[in-house]
Every structure is written in structure tokens, then in C-alpha cells.
């Protein structure tokens, strides 16, 4: 199978760091203009320099996905400097090792602010732009297998709930768009354990959890990026609603 992203060349997508860096690199390699939204924009700028000379281009936009004003300003800058958004990839995610029975509600709120509300706000802004300019775009949420099944890992607290919300939000948006005959696609990509700063590379986690993650098979960021490439390469009459992927042996 030959995957073609030709119809997206020159368009704009939103991404973050970690898995988002792999996605950004993959799309820049394919010739896309990518706007990388991240709190640590210096990491995106570093990646942009590494990718200079490629067919596409990566732009770094400092954005805290927990702050609505930051998200609105990011979309405004993209519209004014790069053009209309054709693809949005909601990759920003937050995990804090915590408990429900005696946990910190401030940490719970942080997780929902990024994983749910930030995603909703970015999606709203992208859909508004796509709809206003008759763009048959694509909204991709980087979800998780725990958005479909809660695993027996104490300390996950509200994280599985936030990812279950992403599953529901993807389908709710699909129904909303269908109701107005919109051709904007929506996809949830749900990876299993993936090497990233939130999991296997996260030194803030307890030693026990770090050891657990390192003992398990894991996907690479590029695996998720290739999944993004696959769903973007489908024909305009094909929509991948949900793509679940796990490492062999999980």
C-alpha cells in the first residue's frame, strides 16, 4: 500500500512535543506546514532547526493548552501568518501520579484542563476555521487504550476518565458534523504504552512505576506518527473513526 498525503501538502496542523514531535517530523517530511503548539516551545524550535531543508516546515508557537487565551492567540497567529487550518492533531496530554482516595484535586483539575478542555477549545477553533472556509479538514485526537478500558494501575486517578472523555468527544463531534452535512473528518488514535516523557521517560513518576513501564513492551513515537499518516491518507469518502494500536506482546 502506498500512502499519499498529496492533498494535504502546504496545509497547517497543530501538534505538541513528545509523540507530537514525531508526528511533526513525519508531516514535515511529507511536505506539510506544521504549527507546533507547546508550553516548551524551545523544544519545538530546536526540532524546527533540525528539520530545516525539508519539503515542509515546522513553526513553534508557545502555548499552554490549559489556558484558553493561549489557544485563541495561537490560532489567531496561525491564521495571520500561515493560513487556514486544514488538520488539527490534539496530542497534548498530561499525566500525574496521584490517587482518587486521598489525592490532590488541583492535579486532577490540571489533567482535565489539558486533556479535555484544552482539546475541546482547540477543536472548536479549528472547526470554526474549516467551516468558514469550506475546508474538508481532519481532526485527530491522540487518545489512549485507557480511553476504552481502565487498567489495574493504581495512581492513574482521573487520567483514564479524561481519556474516556476523549473517546466520547470524538464520537459526539462526528455526530455534530454529520448533522450539518460537514465533510470534516474526526479520528481517535488510541496507542498502548508508548515511549514518551509522560511514560517510560518520565523521571517524576515513582520508581516502582518507572520500573513497571520499562519492563513492558512499548510503541515508539514514530509508530503513532505513521498511524496519523495512514488516517490522513484515506480517500475523502473514508473516515477512520477509531484506530487502536498496541505493541506486539502487550
Single out the catalytic residue among 8, 75, 95, 159.
Answer: 159
Q: Are 222 and 196 in contact (CB under 8 A)?
A: no
Cell numbers linked to 177: 458534523
Between CA 78 and CA 21 the distance in angstroms is: 18
List Cβ neighbours of 242 (8 Å cut-off, separation of 6 or more): 167, 170, 187, 188, 190
Give every strand in the sheet of 138-142, ordered side by side.
87-90, 138-142, 185-191, 242-245
Is 59 annotated as catalytic?
Answer: no
Nearest to 35 by CA among 15, 7, 62, 55: 15
Tell me the catalytic residues: 159
Amino acid at each position: 500500500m502506498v500512502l499519499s498525503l498529496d492533498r494535504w501538502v502546504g496545509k497547517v496542523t497543530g501538534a505538541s512535543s513528545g509523540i507530537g514531535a514525531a508526528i511533526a517530523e513525519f508531516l514535515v517530511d511529507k511536505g506539510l506546514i506544521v504549527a507546533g503548539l507547546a508550553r516548551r516551545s524551545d523544544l519545538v524550535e530546536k526540532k524546527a532547526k533540525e528539520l530545516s531543508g525539508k519539503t515542509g516546515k515546522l513553526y513553534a508557537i508557545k502555548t499552554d493548552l490549559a489556558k484558553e487565551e493561549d489557544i485563541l492567540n495561537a490560532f489567531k497567529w496561525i491564521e495571520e501568518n500561515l493560513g487556514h487550518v486544514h488538520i488539527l492533531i490534539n496530542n497534548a496530554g498530561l499525566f500525574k501520579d496521584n490517587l482518587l482516595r486521598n489525592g490532590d484535586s488541583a492535579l486532577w483539575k490540571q489533567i482535565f484542563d489539558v486533556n479535555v478542555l484544552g482539546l475541546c477549545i482547540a477543536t472548536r477553533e479549528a472547526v470554526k476555521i474549516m467551516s468558514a472556509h469550506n475546508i474538508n479538514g481532519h481532526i485527530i485526537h491522540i487518545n489512549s487504550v485507557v480511553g476504552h478500558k481502565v487498567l489495574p494501575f493504581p495512581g492513574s486517578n482521573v487520567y483514564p476518565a479524561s481519556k474516556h472523555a476523549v473517546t466520547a468527544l470524538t464520537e459526539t463531534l462526528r455526530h455534530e458534523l454529520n448533522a450539518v452535512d460537514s465533510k470534516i473528518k474526526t479520528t481517535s488514535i488510541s496507542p498502548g504504552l508508548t515511549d514518551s516523557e509522560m511514560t517510560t521517560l518520565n523521571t517524576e513518576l515513582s520508581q516502582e512505576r518507572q520500573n513497571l513501564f520499562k519492563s513492558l513492551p512499548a510503541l515508539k513515537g514514530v509508530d503513532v506518527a505513521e498511524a496519523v499518516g495512514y488516517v490522513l491518507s484515506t480517500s475523502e469518502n473514508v473516515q477512520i473513526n477509531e484506530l487502536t494500536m498496541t505493541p506486539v506482546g502487550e
